[in-house]
Amino acid sequence: MDVQVNHRSTGTGKELVRCALQKAQVGDLISVKEVIAYVRKAAPDLPETDCQLTELIVVAATSMGFCVVFDLHE
């Protein structure tokens, strides 16, 4: 998954996760690690924890037909 960061992005964790997933296609593998890195870079002061972001990623990605890779500790 190759995600480009728009440094002017602000918003909720849910909005930023959806933004990170927008270019993926059904069946793609979504890296939790990459999406969290994208969100943190786009909004460094976001109050959500990594655990909360992981939940948002799983819910959004699976509802959009993506597969989730839990690679945070690699």
For residue 36, being part of any structural domain is answered with yes
- Average pLDDT (7-11) is 55
Maximum CA extent, the chain: 31
**Would residue 51 count as lying in a domain?**
yes
Please indicate, yes or no, whether the overall pTM of this predicted structure exceeds 0.85.
no
Task: For residue 51, give its domain range.
Answer: 13-69
Query: Where residue 58 sits, what CATH number does that domain have?
Result: 1.10.10
Here the tokens at position 63 are 């509802």
What b/e string do you get for 21-32 counting C-beta neighbours within 10 Å, with b at 16 or more?
beebeeeeebbb
The predicted-structure confidence for 33-48, as pLDDT tens digits, reads as follows 999 999 999 999 999 9
Q: Does residue 6 carry a pLDDT above 60?
A: no
Q: Is residue 23 included in any domain, yes or no? A: yes
Q: How confident is the model at residue 3 (pLDDT cuts 50, 70, 90)?
A: low
Q: Is residue 4 in a domain?
A: no
β-partners of residue 30 are 68
User: Would 22 be classed as within a structural domain?
Assistant: yes
The answer to whether residue 5 is domain-embedded is no
**Cα–Cα distance between 46 and 24 in angstroms, integer?**
23
How many distinct structural domains can be found in the chain?
1
Contact at 8 Å (CB) between 46 and 40? Answer: yes
